[in-house]
Chains A and B, each alone.
Chain A
Amino acid sequence: MVLTKNDQAKYPFLLDAAEEVKRLDLRIESLENPELKPIIDRAQDRIEEALRNNPPEVSYRPHEEGTEIPSFPVAVMLAAASANSYIKRRYALAEAIRAYGLLRAEDGEKIMEIAGLFKWRIRPLRQKVGDRYYDFALFFGDFLRNAGSFREKEWKLVNKPMLEGEVCLTHGEASRLLQEEIRRHIESKLDMDVRSMLSDSMLERIENLKREFARQIGRVGFEGFPERVVDVAYPPCVTHLYDAAKAGLHLSHVGRFTLTSFLLHIGMKPAQVVDLFRSSADFNERMTRYQVEHIAGDRGSRTKYKPPTCETLKTHGLCPGPDQLCRRIRHPLSYYSRKTRMLKREVPAS
């Protein structure tokens, strides 16, 4: 595929970023090089837009190929140099959303070309299946690689028309999946260590950004859990497992893992978790302790395991049915964090 200048400005991530950066030679003191300044300014601007706009989206500036194309790889370097996972994730998403908007307006052929660059096995369909008209048929593996983490019901494979290994897609759906592919593609570029390649003034730019958006950057992930474990804030699935464990009933492997990793995450001590399983008839102290400490990250791979998502719990039959709050979250830990905050508001501290 030959990319026109216009295409390159719209979809700069399709170019070889390393090549582009080499061409610019960023170690040249940027402020002294008037040719480079607008490019670096625009690069910084791309990241600022990602942080400022909600939902995050980098703008598209037509007819400015001269800065639009080279500013992208520079922005990638800046984002990577931030070494901050929030900035990286948000920037990748903002560029992907920008691309999505542009893809929506493209014809089917262009979609196919870009999908082809990501090695998708896609073909035009242009026919009705059931009552809907579809534009493309995509290999289900390519579909799952991207839609697997979407939470909306309509993106579940089980709700898609599928035949002979292909999922039928509309133009809009294909663009949305490409957005995810692009987001993952850009995010994967942000993990390299580039700080040594950048000049001091470049590094200063990113530090300034971090300062400016410090409040936003700090407010991520699961918010702090209260110091004491609040058992009335457990989500229904955990309450269910917890009661069963206390009663000495048999729990499946996934069930035990879910309960243990959840309790450890909200601050229960491994020894307390071990005690919980004591009423089980086949309780083996040494074995249980080993498993609990493994999940806590005190042993083996040293990874602190997180409980599975709501989706996964549903798949394994461990979701006893959602309550009101469940409908607004997708992870048992988010439930706990929200519920504890709600409870705090209800009952003023004495």
Chain B
Amino acid sequence: MDTQAFIRERFAEFYEEKAEDIEAPHSIEKREFGFLTFRESVMIRHKGFTKLGDLVSFVRQVTPAHAYYSTAYYEMPEEKMEEKGWLGADLYFDIDADHIPTNCRKIHDTWACKNKDCGFEGRGIAPETCPMCSGKSFEERTWPCEVCLESAKLETVKLVDILTEEFGFSLTEVNLSFSGHRGYHVHVRNEAIRQLNSVARKEIVDYVTGVGLDPAFHGLEGSGTSRPRIVAGPRLNDAGWGGRIARGTREFFSAATSEDLQSLGLRRRAVDEILGNKDLILRSWEKSGPWGIVGGLGADGWKAIVQRSVESQSVKIDTVVTTDIHRLIRLPGSLHGKTGLLKVSFSPADAEEFDPLKNAVAFEKGEAAVYVDQAPEFRLGEERFGPFKKQKVQLPLAAALFLLCKGAAEVVD
């Protein structure tokens, strides 16, 4: 049987039973919907629905591989882009493991040169040019592994902190969801920010990612010109980035190893001072912090440490998603065509217990036999599968679909 047709049939069965679980976006009648079907990879765009029931019937009718809705609200969502009448948009963030460099990517991500005569393969992130044929185009296969997903979740939690503590959103206005593949979406629905244009949203992105941050505006104060020193810096409870820099710096000092410090280009004497006085440095935060009291540490060294703490406190997001005020976002409760997993939303309060590889499993019954070309070890629910290489296996339907959707396996009769 044709693999595509097999996936589509399973998706159709799923939607027959569960399409009602699709979450209607707020003000559904003002949203634009888009769908990618299995047959032709063309987007059905500019769809509008006045109620959830119509959306559900449509999904059942077309069985999409991917279903999306607009972050924006429009007067007439079915019109052409320039005639829709933009009314505002929710604030959205996309955190994808693709933007986070994890060590395990070297193990589970693979790439293959697209040059038909070459086909050279490797692991990790694809190089700029193929070492065999100097080709520049690659087929990349990334995996939603536990470690990657966990690091994406950590970023998500960090973002929620910034959104609630600094931006003042309440937890009820912030909704999280697992994308169904390698990341998380953070959705903020608040009337007061709906009208913000993309210039203003860009500033929010820069805040979250720390772009354009100058520590001098947060109390980092230097003196002297021939041998510049740092004489003061932010405190732990300062508002906004000041407090973040202080907390990041405290964390850095308490965990820093000799290698960490040397990698920042600190001199031997400064490294010894820091490692030998960890307690003293930690206690200094009760007063005005360790700024300027560490021997041998000049302005450049301090700046490198502050830079490191900014990196650790900032959140790695896909910047384009947040600034785009016409973006289409995957519909919660729909299936992701690249994994067969669900996009599921959850409240920030449940972030800790949320297990994407369990909570997003859509197919709970059935089995299928597949021929796996290549797949690293993976987990779904409580069960572990693989690694597989060029073999036929009988798997629970969810695991089989996962491999089929990823393009790592084919159906066997």
Residues of A within 8 A of B (CB): 121, 129-131, 139-141, 144-145, 147-149, 153-154, 156-166, 168, 247-250, 252-254, 280-282, 300-301, 303, 311-312, 314-317
14 contacting pairs across A/B (C-beta < 8 A): A130-B219, A130-B242, A131-B232, A148-B197, A156-B213, A158-B241, A159-B213, A159-B217, A165-B166, A248-B136, A301-B81, A315-B205, A316-B323, A317-B319
Q: Which A residues lie within 8 Å of B210 (CB)?
A: 158
**Measured between alpha carbons, how far is A139 from B191 in the docked complex, in Å?**
13
Q: How far is the CA of A315 from the CA of B212 in the complex (A)?
A: 9
- Inter-chain contacts of A145 with B (CB < 8 A): 196, 200
How many angstroms from the CA of A154 to the CA of B203 in the assembled complex? 12
**Chain A CB within 8 A of B58 CB:** no
For the complex, what is the distance from the CA of A163 to the CA of B169, rounded to whole Å?
Answer: 11
Q: How far is the CA of A315 from the CA of B318 in the complex (A)?
A: 10
B346 contacts chain A at the CB level, 8 A cutoff: no
The answer to whether A148 touches B203, judged by C-beta atoms less than 8 angstroms apart, is: yes
Cβ of A250: which chain B residues have Cβ within 8 Å of it?
A: 136-137
Contacts of B196 in A (CB 8 A): 141, 144-145
Given known A-B contacts A144-B204, A159-B213, A149 and B239 have beta carbons under 8 A apart: no
- Nearest-CB distance from B326 to chain A (Å)? 12
B212's contact among A139, A153, A317, by CB below 8 Å, is which?
A: A153
Q: Which of B166, B203, B232 contacts A156 (CB 8 A)?
A: B203
- Of A144, A166, A252, A280, most B-chain CB atoms within 10 Å: A144
Q: Does B332 contact A (CB under 8 A)?
A: no
Chain B residue with the shortest CB-CB distance to A161:
B239
Q: Are A281 and B238 in contact (CB under 8 A)?
A: no
A165 touches B214 (CB 8 A): no
In the assembled complex, the CB of A80 is this many whole angstroms from the nearest CB of chain B, namely: 24
Determine the chain A residues whose CB is within 8 A of the CB of B206 once the complex forms.
156-158, 314-315
A165 touches B167 (CB 8 A): yes
Q: Are A129 and B238 in contact (CB under 8 A)?
A: yes
A133 to chain B, nearest CB (A): 13
Q: Quick check: B137 and A282 within 8 Å, CB to CB?
A: yes
Q: Quick one: given A154-B217, A159-B241, A281-B136, are A315 and B319 in contact (CB under 8 Å)?
A: yes
Chain A residues within 8 Å of B242, by CB: 130, 161
The proximity string for B residues 38-72 relative to A, scoring 1 for CB distances below 8 Å and 0 otherwise, is: 00000000000000000000000000000000000
* CB–CB B203/A129 < 8 A: no
Question: What is the interface size of chain B, counting residues whose CB is below 8 A from a CB of the partner?
Answer: 44
Starting from the known contacts A129-B239, A280-B137, A300-B82, 13 additional A-B residue pairs (CB-CB under 8 Å) come to: A130-B235, A130-B242, A131-B232, A140-B167, A158-B210, A159-B214, A161-B238, A161-B240, A163-B168, A163-B240, A250-B137, A253-B320, A315-B211
* B199 interfacial contact with A, CB 8 Å: yes
Q: Pick the contact of A164: B165, B192, B212, B217 (CB < 8 A).
A: B165
Evaluate contact between A148 and B217: CB separation under 8 angstroms.
Answer: no
Chain A nearest CB, measured from B211 CB (Å) = 6
Q: Which of B192, B214, B239, B320 contacts A162 (CB 8 A)?
A: B239
B232 — which chain A residues lie within 8 A by C-beta?
131
Q: Which of B181-212 contact A (CB under 8 A)?
A: 192-193, 196-197, 199-200, 202-207, 209-212
What residues of B have a CB within 8 angstroms of the CB of A301 in the complex?
Answer: 81-82
Query: Complex Cα distance A259/B305, Å?
Result: 36
Q: How far is the CB of A175 from chain B (nearest CB, A)?
A: 19
Residues of B close to A282: CB separation below 8 A: 137
Could you say which residues of chain B place their CB within 8 Å of the CB of A147? 203
If A249-B136, A314-B212, A315-B323 touch, whether A164 touches B238 (CB-CB below 8 Å) is: no
Report the Cα distance A141→B217, complex, angstroms. 20
Residues of A with C-beta under 8 A to B319: 315-317
Interface presence of B234 (CB below 8 A)? yes
Chain B 225-242, CB-CB to A under 8 Å as 1, else 0, gives 000000010110011111
Kindly provide the distance from the CB of B204 to the nearest chain A CB, expressed in whole angstroms.
7
Contacts of B169 in A (CB 8 A): 165
Q: Which residues of A contact B81 (CB under 8 A)?
A: 300-301
Chain B positions 161-188 with a Cβ under 8 Å from a chain A Cβ: 165-169
Query: Distance (Å) between the CB of B15 and the closest chain A CB?
Result: 30
Q: Are A158 and B213 in contact (CB under 8 A)?
A: yes
- Nearest Cβ distance between residue A183 and chain B, in whole angstroms? 15
With A130-B219, A130-B234, A316-B320: A157-B204 Cβ-Cβ less than 8 Å: yes
Q: Which B residues are in CB contact (< 8 Å) with A166?
A: 168
Residues on the A chain within 8 Å of B82, using CB: 300-301, 303
CB contact under 8 A between A248 and B234, given known A153-B214, A301-B81, A315-B205? no
What are the residues of chain A within 8 A of B211 when measuring CB–CB? 158, 314-315
Task: Report how far A311 CA is from B169 CA in the complex, Å.
Answer: 26
- How far apart sit A161 and B238, CA to CA, in the bound complex (Å)? 8
The answer to whether A281 and B135 have CB atoms under 8 Å apart is yes
Shortest Cβ distance from residue A265 to the other chain B in the assembled complex, whole angstroms = 20
Bound complex: CA A252 to CA B169 (Å): 31
Task: State A163–B168 Cα separation when bound (angstroms).
Answer: 7
Cβ of B114 < 8 Å from any Cβ of A? yes
The one of B135, B199, B235, B320 that contacts A254, using a Cβ cutoff of 8 Å: B320
Q: Nearest Cβ in chain A — how far from B140, in angstroms?
A: 10
Q: Which residue of B lies closest to A131 (CB)?
A: B219
CA distance A300 to B166 in the complex (A): 40
Q: Judge whether B218 is part of the interface by a CB distance below 8 angstroms.
A: yes
Q: Are A144 and B135 in contact (CB under 8 A)?
A: no
> Which of chain A's residues has its CB closest to B192's CB?
A141
**How far apart sit A130 and B221, CA to CA, in the bound complex (Å)?**
12
Q: Determine how close the nearest CB of chain A comes to the CB of B5; give it in whole angstroms.
A: 26
| A156→B204 CA distance, assembly (Å) | 9
How far apart are the CA atoms of A156 and B235 in the complex, in Å?
A: 21
Task: List the B side residues contacting A144 at CB < 8 Å.
Answer: 196, 200, 203-204
A247 x B320 contact (CB < 8 A): no
Shortest beta-carbon distance from B260 to chain A in Å: 25
7 nearest interchain CB pairs? Answer: A165-B168, A281-B137, A144-B200, A159-B217, A162-B240, A164-B168, A163-B239
**In whole angstroms, what is the CA distance A247 to B200 when docked?**
35
Whether a CB of chain A sits under 8 angstroms from the CB of B17 is no
